């Protein structure tokens, strides 16, 4: 019983972080219908960057985190400015391929700068575990879930009420019409990449605090893909619902199936879910269907 | 005042679609731009609003002046800030946004919140139906409502020049009249100039002060609305009327052919 509860709590918490990272995909898809295939590498590079600032340079925690955010914003800006903007009005497939290229470039950059394969961030949250009923959960999980939820709330409000947020959603609907309204689409795209990199960075730091920094972080990005696909490519709510589902499935499946099927099943589960969802519900749980007036 | 001097537009550096268009829109006037499909009307509007650059088109010759300043090299956003707005053809609402959010995007370039709010009320005053639908998803509005929304969205930028591309497209005659009445009232009350692209020549010339007829990327005829309404060629080719205002008889189709030959 205690074991089950523990799987559930940690599964949901990790799932929330997946959901946060998945927002980095949904944001870009929503405003420019480009699939951001560099998601995992964005998570990877920002986690290593935080490690570099905190451990190698030895900065205090808050400055290190602040610098990570600044780094993420800069990264997002430069990806959009230097690789995607020259390709505006080109076939969408070229743009998607470019994000793949950016991903591999970043991965290469990381292994060039930080050849060590494993590292750990210093503890940020108190070490004492929390007792939830019979289960014992370390505090990192709860903080990760809380921070993800808070960031998700902030972004949702931004998109619902802020002028720029509304303009970003409008861009997703009709790029030409939005320009006729005087909205600079280039800054919309650039902003969506900045947001995407920031959520990937925060998600990356949260995941690294739980599981350490390895090259496996790229897979965290891949797991976020399954979140996006399950939730519907462009839906925020979809991400936030699908995240915990994937996290739970991964944890419960990993916990109870490993003795039966063998290790490794945990990492396959999200991808099994992708395939099932694609077959049954191609728009995902909350995806925007094309509006057809009848 | 908007002034186009002999502009030429080339798409993708190869296809020349406008061969020297000149036209003038006086402050506070309504000007109709008429012509068949493919005459270059929409391209002319896009050249003015700067949207041409997005579609790999370019003004290669001539100049576009707005209030004495050349704008043919400015971006769509800069031109928007000068008070020129274009409502695209075909009711391009933002389908997944609500009516009110659509209108707010129209005011994107404006800073003062309370004035934006006033303008929202102004648009609702001209289009009371939009007020009732303010929280509805725009993609599910009817065609007429979407056209109202697109026109209202153009009004939200508080334009000095509003360019409307075929506001009558695919609408029932009664709705067309309703929308045209509103455009006329907006022009009267706010002194916003209107440049109107239209296939429906009769209704366009009803509210326009002057007009231009385009064919194959050239202006072939221009003059006051009265002059155009009474011009034999306009009647013949664009209103389907023969000499004295009677419906054209298709038995006399030979006459039509003869005319085309010497054109």
pLDDT of residue B257: 47
Most B CBs within 10 Å, among A88, A164, A172, A182, to test the B interface: A182
- Six-digit token pair at A147? 């921070």
Residue corresponding to tokens 């072939």: B220
Of the candidate ranges B27-41, B43-57, B63-77, B236-250, the one whose mean pLDDT is the lowest? B236-250
CB contact under 8 A, A179 and B109: no
Which domains does chain B possess?
Answer: 2-224 (3.40.50.300), 231-263 (no CATH)
| In a domain? residue A184 | yes
Chain B residues contacting A, CB < 8 Å?
A: 49, 51, 54, 56, 76-77, 80-81, 85-88, 92-97, 101-102, 104-106, 108-109, 137, 139-140, 142, 153, 157
Whether residue A160 is contained in a domain is answered as yes
A167/B92 Cβ within 8 A: no
Question: A177 and chain B: CB distance < 8 Å anywhere?
Answer: yes
Sequence-ordered strand ranges (E) for chain B: 2-11, 15-25, 30-35, 57-66, 69-70, 84-87, 161-165, 193-198, 210-215, 218-224
Task: Give the whole-number percent of chain B exceeding pLDDT 90.
Answer: 40
Strand arrangement, sheet containing B30-35:
B84-87, B161-165, B193-198, B30-35, B210-215, B218-224
pLDDT band at B263 (very low <50, low <70, confident <90, very high): very low
Mean pLDDT taken over chain B: 86
| ipTM computed for the complex | 0.83
- Asked if residue A251 belongs to a domain, the reply is no
Q: Residue written as tokens 């743009």?
A: A95
* Angstrom distances, CA of residue B81 to CA of A184, B39, B116: 11, 28, 15
Please state, in angstroms and as integers, the Cα–Cα distance from residue B260 to each residue in B37, B39, B233, B237, B254, following that order. 17, 16, 11, 10, 10
- The residues of chain A scoring below 70 in pLDDT are 288-294
Residues 6+ apart with CB under 8 A from A168: A30, A31, A159, A188, A191, A192
Choose the mutation target among A90, A170, A178 for the interface with B, i.e. most B CBs under 10 Å.
A170
How far is it between the farthest Cα atoms of chain B?
62
Is A226 within a domain?
no
Q: Do the domain assignments include residue A231? A: no
What's the angle, vertex CA A226, arms to CA A223 and CA A230, rounded to 5? 150
| pLDDT per residue as tens digits for the range B101-113 | 999 999 988 888 8
Q: Give the separation between CA A160 and CA A157, rounded to whole angstroms.
A: 5
- Pairwise CA distance, residues A135 & A138, whole Å: 10
Question: What element of type H or E holds B80?
Answer: helix B76-81
Euclidean distance between the first and final Cα of chain B, in Å?
33
Environment class of residue A210 by beta-carbon count within 10 Å: exposed (0-12), middle (13-18) or buried (19+)?
middle
Give the integer Cα–Cα distance in Å for B240 and B142.
30
pLDDT of residue A116: 81
Enumerate residues 220 to 249 of chain A having a beta carbon within 8 A of any beta carbon in chain B: none
With beta carbons under 8 A apart, name residues in chain B contacting A177. Answer: 88, 92-94
Structurally, chain A folds into a number of domains equal to 1
| Residues of A with Cβ-Cβ distance to B142 under 8 angstroms | 293
Residue A125 CA, distance from chain mean position: 21
> Per the domain annotation, does A46 fall within a domain?
yes
* Distance in angstroms (rounded) separating the CA atoms of residues A71 and A49: 8
Q: Is the pLDDT of residue B259 over 80?
A: no
Q: Which helix (H) or strand (E) holds A132?
A: strand A130-132
Q: Print the domain residue range for A56.
A: 2-218
> Is residue A14 in a domain?
yes
Q: Round to whole Å and give the CA distance between A163 and A157.
A: 11
Q: For A241-285, write each residue's pLDDT tens digit.
A: 999 999 998 888 888 888 888 777 888 888 888 888 888 887 777
* Residue B166 banded pLDDT, cuts 50, 70, 90: very high
* Interface residue of A163, A169, A181, A185 to substitute, partner B, most B CBs within 10 Å: A181
Asked whether residue A202 is assigned to any structural domain, the reply reads yes
């Amino acid at each position: 019983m205690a074991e089950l509860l523990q799987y559930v709590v940690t599964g949901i918490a990790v799932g929330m972080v997946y959901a946060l990272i998945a927002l980095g995909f949904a944001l870009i898809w929503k405003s420019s219908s480009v699939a951001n295939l560099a998601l995992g590498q964005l998570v990877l590079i920002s986690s290593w960057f935080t490690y570099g600032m905190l451990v190698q340079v030895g900065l205090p925690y808050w400055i290190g985190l602040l610098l990570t955010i600044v780094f993420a914003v800069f990264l997002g800006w430069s990806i959009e400015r230097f690789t995607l903007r020259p390709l505006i009005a080109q076939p969408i497939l070229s743009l998607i391929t470019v994000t793949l290229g950016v991903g591999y470039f970043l991965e290469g950059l990381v292994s060039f700068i930080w050849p060590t394969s494993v590292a750990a961030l210093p503890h940020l949250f108190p070490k004492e575990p929390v007792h939830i009923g019979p289960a014992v959960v370390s505090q990192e999980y709860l903080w990760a879930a809380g921070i993800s939820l808070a960031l998700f709330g902030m972004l949702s409000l931004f998109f619902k009420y802020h002028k720029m947020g509304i303009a970003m959603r409008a861009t997703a609907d009709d790029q030409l019409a939005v320009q006729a309204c005087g909205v600079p689409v280039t800054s919309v795209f650039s902003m969506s990449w900045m947001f995407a990199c920031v959520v990937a960075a925060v998600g990356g730091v949260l995941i690294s605090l739980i599981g350490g920094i390895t090259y496996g972080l790229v897979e965290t990005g891949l797991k976020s893909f399954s979140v996006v696909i399950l939730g519907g490519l462009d839906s925020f709510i979809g991400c936030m619902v699908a995240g915990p589902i994937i996290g739970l499935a991964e944890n419960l499946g990993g916990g109870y199936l490993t003795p039966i099927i063998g290790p490794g099943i945990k990492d396959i589960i999200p991808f099994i879910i992708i395939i099932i969802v694609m077959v049954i519900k191609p728009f995902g749980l909350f995806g925007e269907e094309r509006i057809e007036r009848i | 005042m908007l002034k186009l001097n002999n502009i030429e537009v080339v798409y993708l550096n190869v296809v020349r679609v406008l061969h020297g268009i000149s036209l003038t829109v006086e402050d506070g006037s309504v000007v109709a731009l008429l012509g068949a499909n493919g005459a270059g009307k929409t391209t002319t509007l896009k050249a003015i609003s700067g949207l041409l650059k997005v579609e790999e088109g370019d003004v290669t010759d001539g100049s576009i002046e707005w209030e004495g300043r050349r704008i043919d090299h400015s971006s769509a956003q800069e031109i928007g800030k000068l008070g020129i707005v274009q409502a695209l053809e075909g009711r391009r609402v933002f389908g997944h946004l609500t009516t009110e959010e659509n209108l707010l995007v129209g005011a994107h370039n404006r800073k003062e919140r309370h004035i934006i709010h006033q303008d929202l009320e102004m648009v609702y005053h001209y289009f009371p139906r939009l007020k009732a639908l303010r929280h509805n998803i725009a993609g599910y509005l009817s065609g007429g409502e979407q056209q109202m929304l697109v026109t209202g969205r153009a009004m939200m930028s508080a334009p000095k020049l509003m360019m409307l591309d075929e506001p009558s497209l695919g609408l029932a005659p009664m709705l067309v009249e309703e929308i045209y009445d509103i455009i006329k009232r907006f022009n009267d009350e706010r002194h916003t100039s209107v440049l109107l692209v239209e296939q429906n020549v009769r209704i366009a010339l009803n509210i326009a002060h002057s007009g231009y007829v385009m064919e194959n990327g050239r202006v072939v005829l221009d003059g006051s609305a009265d002059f155009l309404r009474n011009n034999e060629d306009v009647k013949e080719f664009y209103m389907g009327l023969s000499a004295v205002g009677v419906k054209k008889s298709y038995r006399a189709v030979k006459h039509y052919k003869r005319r085309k030959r010497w054109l």
